[in-house]
Structure 1
Amino acid sequence: MRKSVLLLSVASLLLAAPISALAQAATPAAAAPRAPVVAITQHAGTFNGQKVKYDAIVAETFLKEAVGAPAASVVTTAYVRTDNKDKAARPVLFLFNGGPGASTTPLHFGAFGPKKREGEGAAQRMVDNPDSPLDAVDLVFIDPVGTGYSRPLPGHDGQAFWSRTGDAHAVKTIIADWLKANGRQASPRYMLGQSYGTTRAALVAGIGQDLNLDGILLFALVGNPPGHEMPYVTSLPAFATTAWHHQRIDRAGRSVTEVYEEAVSFARGEYVTALIKGASLTPAEKRATAQKMSALIGLPAEFIEAKDLRLSKEDFMFNLLKDQGVRIGQLDSRATRALDAPAQRPPYDDPGMNYAEPRPAPPTATGVTAASTRGLSAVDSYYQEHLKFRTAETYNALNLDVNSAWDHEGMTDVNSKIGEAMRQNPKLRLFWAAGYFDITTPAYSGRYALDQAGVPGGRLKAAYFNGGHSVFTDPANHTALSQAVRNFVRP
């Protein structure tokens, strides 16, 4: 398989020079770069009840400066079905997580890869993932620079890739390169981002008209609604569903979906009206609004009124169960942690990180990978000993240094780029998944962002789950989400 080399101009953010120009610019003393590492292995598995043969392709791609020196190495992990008859008609799905600074570990080994990671610590192992949609779509997991095995190369600090613009250009080019290098230019192509990955997806869509995407999938959409009212309005329904879960409100026979919809209706009507009135709201109106909010979200009306009807996420997380001495999680509000627990570096202080509802013992796992003969972690062993990808690096699941170095370029909402891409590309469709118990990227915040972005309702498929930020951590959601993805890429 041929693996082409990407071009990155640090000075002009991926304004690529022709290869011939790069060769002319290289100095005679410059050492020839090593070839990108590529490992291809053959496998078989059963997904969605269907037996599938596939290749695992772990490939290194160099991002270059305009003068020709490699600046970074990006490693992609692809799973390509080999027993299908029509490769051109088979869709390809490119996946990335968020952070910034997060690898694809959650989507790769927690949701959609042919193997999933189970267990804790040294007892972790890789087992078959029967829910993987590999029966329906080829999967390409992209670990941006600084995550997974992707690294800045010696003499480069990676900063050119650690911004909204630089990262989007790099990922867009990686997708185009992979399609060309693997002869998949005629294949339907989809892009999936989670959390900050939804921001990345919007930015790639804004510059990637030539990718000719068929669909974009967004999990835990980052909304960032502006103004003095909408940040509070869009968070309120997540507060209501959380209060429902912890039984801090009267459920009155209502499901979580019904509570969510009731809270959305209140937030879009009476609540936003009260916030807009501001100081002109009469004391009686303010008290009545606080009482209705209290019935929805479980905090005392007096507390809500004292906060001027505007509750931050911290106000809610640290006060809903304060009488029990615990706070709730932000990534998953079903989780709790003692208020006086020892301090931890964010995001590890969030009890919602990697939370999943208690579950029965899993069935006997199949396809368990052998333990490492060299004492490697489950992920490093999987790559190096099972997929035969040789590297001296250690897989970096979450790089907080990258997160700290990231240039968010103003933290503005970029979802309008998706709406514009859909107007320019009539075939482009959108899938959006949200968890009722996600306070980090609340469900209604995502819905509001898509509405304001001008996403055509007829080309949007929305799916809500009883889960948090990563809805697939719950077993029932895991199967349902995989089936929803399968259905979306095979309309």
Structure 2
Amino acid sequence: MRILNQGLGAVLLLLLAATALASERSIAIDDAVVTEHDMRIEGQRVRYSATTGTQPVWDEDGKPIATLFYTYYQRTDVRDRDRRPLLISFNGGPGSASVWMHVAYTGPRVLEIDDEGYPVQPYGIKDNPYSVLDVADIVFVNPINTGYSRVVPDEEGEKLSREEQKERFFGVEQDIEYLAEWINTFVTRHERWNSPKYLIGESYGTTRVAGLALELQNRQWMYLNGVILVSPTDMGIDRDGPVKAANRLPYFAATAWYHEALGEDLQALDLYELLPKVEEFTLDEYLPALARGAFIDEDERQQIAEQVARYSGLSVESVLGSNLDIDLAFFWKDLLRERGRTVGRLDSRYLGIDRKNVGERPDYWAELTAWLHAFTPAINHYIRNELEYETDIKYNMFGPVHPWDRQNNRTGENLRQAMAQNPFLNVLFQAGYYDGATNYFDAKYSMWQLDPSGEMRDRLSFKGYRSGHMMYLRYDDLRQSNRDLREFILNSIPEEGEAARYE
């Protein structure tokens, strides 16, 4: 009887172990689900397929060590796939999923939100009548630990250690290297080598795609037609010190204008009339004054402070108390302090309420809570119910990728080098005037500094919008930003037989 009990116990243990393994949350390393759809874009009927799935990241021995989750939209009512552009889309963070541009900007379905971008209930999504899917196929890629992308176990059930993951994936150079390999495999599998190719990145995604442009050329021998930088980071382009401080002022002015915190004469102007005046003052007077630091003449200090206060909506006392260098967090807290409100970081149109009016920074970012409010239920419902991809893995809006190795960030220079090597490569900057995290004037400055020679300035362009970091959340800017992107794609495809050469 004792032996029998031991045997039954062993069987029970095996059954429990098998049940535990079967119920362990995991993602398929290499799979896909395809669904068929149709919609109207800019009044034209478009039929398309959506491929949702995973594709491996391999190590040097050809064994899978991770898998990336993606969604690939292809227009199905076209004949010549070789001439059809492919747009490869990344968000940023680092550690952010592709959800933001996927279901709010270029994809065929977008959030149910109000016309200014605020969440509404019931949550959901609707057709995007301005998606660029009419002119380009789109793949939305989730880097490791974002979306459903994960590190996967080997044949023995072992995963890379946290330190090994950091060394392979979580840094400026590491991120670019493994993603370039992944893109090569994707383009090969889906037979898109002949297609004009574009990268689009938002926020840290601009660092990613700027670096990928050269990595794809030099290591994968894949040449691009365009790179789109949405709300760009510095990409390793130096803009510290007085430049960093001065470049904030046009953003301050835009935000203060939006909240009617400027004097009557400035409020009477349209935003597009106001900003050139502020930009001119910033470059011609404010930046030189900041450069002189403590040795500026006192009368000039007072004069500059009064003008900065006039354009920023802050008091002269606050500007002088900041030594003319206004901290961003202080601005978000102080601009509407008397109204009992704070303004958002990524989009200063959004308002917050703090526990106390005193203090130097807001308690929370009002815009981010509003966005997560709308995006999280929408993407989870959409993937499972419309794209029919089912998994018990949690969709990481933001995933664990930190600490991030930011050393050797030369991605802006890498993009310049890629442009120099490839006469067909064009670059578009897109930025919202109310973005305080990656402000629009920094984006302009980076564009000016990207190619010091000026020989490629005709291949660099900038578009600004009356919204924030995710400028496409505002309905008018969803329409305009997609139209600007569509125009950029179509205009950067060479004529048939045109040679890539310099005269």
- Structure 1 residues 477 and 127: alpha-carbon distance in aligned structure 2, compared to 1, 3 A threshold: same
SS in 2 for 1:316: helix
> 2:442 matched to 1:445?
yes
User: Which of 240, 249, 252 is 1:227 aligned to?
Assistant: 240
| Count of paired positions | 434
Measure the CA separation in 2 of the matches of 1:171 and 1:416.
19
Equivalent position of 2:404 in the other structure:
406
Asked if 1 retains the 8 angstrom alpha-carbon contact of 2:48 and 2:73, the reply is: yes
- Structure 1 residues 126 and 249: alpha-carbon distance in aligned structure 2, compared to 1, 3 A threshold: closer
- Structure 1 residues 348 and 169: alpha-carbon distance in aligned structure 2, compared to 1, 3 A threshold: farther
- Structure 1 residues 348 and 66: alpha-carbon distance in aligned structure 2, compared to 1, 3 A threshold: farther
Asked if 1 retains the 8 angstrom alpha-carbon contact of 2:447 and 2:460, the reply is: no
1:197-212 matches, within 5 Å, as 197-209=205-217, 210-212=221-223
Asked if 2 retains the 8 angstrom alpha-carbon contact of 1:355 and 1:473, the reply is: no
- Structure 1 residues 248 and 126: alpha-carbon distance in aligned structure 2, compared to 1, 3 A threshold: closer
> 2:33 matched to 1:39?
yes
- Structure 1 residues 248 and 278: alpha-carbon distance in aligned structure 2, compared to 1, 3 A threshold: same
- Structure 1 residues 115 and 271: alpha-carbon distance in aligned structure 2, compared to 1, 3 A threshold: same
Equivalent position of 1:423 in the other structure:
420
Asked if 2 retains the 8 angstrom alpha-carbon contact of 1:114 and 1:129, the reply is: yes
Equivalent position of 2:184 in the other structure:
176
| CA distances 1:161-216 after superposition (whole Å, capped 9, x unpaired) | 11111111122222222211111111101000000101111111232212200000
| CA distances 1:379-398 after superposition (whole Å, capped 9, x unpaired) | 33432343232433232222
Equivalent position of 2:482 in the other structure:
482
Give structure 2 stretches of 5+ with no counterpart: 1-26, 114-118, 154-158, 492-503
- Structure 1 residues 227 and 377: alpha-carbon distance in aligned structure 2, compared to 1, 3 A threshold: closer
Equivalent position of 2:354 in the other structure:
339
- Structure 1 residues 35 and 355: alpha-carbon distance in aligned structure 2, compared to 1, 3 A threshold: closer
Equivalent position of 2:325 in the other structure:
310
Normalised by the size of structure 2, how large is the TM-score? 0.81
Give structure 1 stretches of 5+ with no counterpart: 1-32, 357-375
Equivalent position of 2:468 in the other structure:
468
Deviates more, 1:452-461 or 1:162-171: 452-461
> 2:448 matched to 1:433?
no
> 2:119 matched to 1:125?
no
SS in 2 for 1:208: helix
Deviates more, 1:115-124 or 1:170-179: 115-124
Asked if 2 retains the 8 angstrom alpha-carbon contact of 1:225 and 1:413, the reply is: no
Deviates more, 1:446-455 or 1:263-272: 446-455
For residue 225 of structure 1, report the CA deviation from its aligned partner: 4.1
| CA distances 1:399-424 after superposition (whole Å, capped 9, x unpaired) | 2x32x3322226x5632222221111
Deviates more, 1:151-160 or 1:319-328: 151-160
| CA distances 1:303-336 after superposition (whole Å, capped 9, x unpaired) | 2122211111122111111222222111011222
Measure the CA separation in 2 of the matches of 1:88 and 1:232.
47
RMSD across aligned C-alpha pairs, in angstroms?
A: 2.4
| CA distances 1:79-138 after superposition (whole Å, capped 9, x unpaired) | 011111111001010001111111111101111211223266983223222221111110
Asked if 2 retains the 8 angstrom alpha-carbon contact of 1:81 and 1:135, the reply is: yes
| CA distances 1:457-483 after superposition (whole Å, capped 9, x unpaired) | 211221110001100010110111111
1:199-278 matches, within 5 Å, as 199-209=207-217, 210-223=221-234, 225-252=238-265, 253-278=268-293
- Structure 1 residues 162 and 122: alpha-carbon distance in aligned structure 2, compared to 1, 3 A threshold: farther
For residue 259 of structure 1, report the CA deviation from its aligned partner: 1.8
For residue 297 of structure 1, report the CA deviation from its aligned partner: 0.8
- Structure 1 residues 462 and 289: alpha-carbon distance in aligned structure 2, compared to 1, 3 A threshold: same
Measure the CA separation in 1 of the matches of 2:135 and 2:73.
12
Asked if 1 retains the 8 angstrom alpha-carbon contact of 2:336 and 2:343, the reply is: yes
User: Which of 285, 288, 292 is 2:307 aligned to?
Assistant: 292
Equivalent position of 1:145 in the other structure:
144
Partner AA of 1:324 in structure 2? R
Measure the CA separation in 1 of the matches of 2:194 and 2:52.
22
1:362-377 matches, within 5 Å, as 377=377
SS in 2 for 1:169: helix
Asked if 1 retains the 8 angstrom alpha-carbon contact of 2:380 and 2:395, the reply is: yes
More helix by share: 2
- Structure 1 residues 225 and 438: alpha-carbon distance in aligned structure 2, compared to 1, 3 A threshold: farther
Equivalent position of 2:366 in the other structure:
351
Measure the CA separation in 2 of the matches of 1:238 and 1:299.
13
Measure the CA separation in 2 of the matches of 1:217 and 1:234.
22
Asked if 2 retains the 8 angstrom alpha-carbon contact of 1:102 and 1:147, the reply is: yes
- Structure 1 residues 82 and 68: alpha-carbon distance in aligned structure 2, compared to 1, 3 A threshold: same
Partner AA of 2:297 in structure 1? T
Equivalent position of 2:389 in the other structure:
389
Measure the CA separation in 1 of the matches of 2:388 and 2:28.
18
| CA distances 1:318-368 after superposition (whole Å, capped 9, x unpaired) | 1111222222111011222123179xxx99921122769xxxxxxxxxxxx
Measure the CA separation in 2 of the matches of 1:295 and 1:475.
31
SS in 2 for 1:481: helix
Equivalent position of 1:100 in the other structure:
94
SS in 2 for 1:140: strand
Q: Percent sequence identity over matched residues?
A: 29
Asked if 1 retains the 8 angstrom alpha-carbon contact of 2:55 and 2:68, the reply is: yes
Measure the CA separation in 2 of the matches of 1:351 and 1:35.
37
For residue 73 of structure 1, report the CA deviation from its aligned partner: 0.6
Measure the CA separation in 2 of the matches of 1:382 and 1:227.
42
- Structure 1 residues 304 and 225: alpha-carbon distance in aligned structure 2, compared to 1, 3 A threshold: farther
1:56-75 matches, within 5 Å, as 56-75=50-69
- Structure 1 residues 355 and 420: alpha-carbon distance in aligned structure 2, compared to 1, 3 A threshold: farther
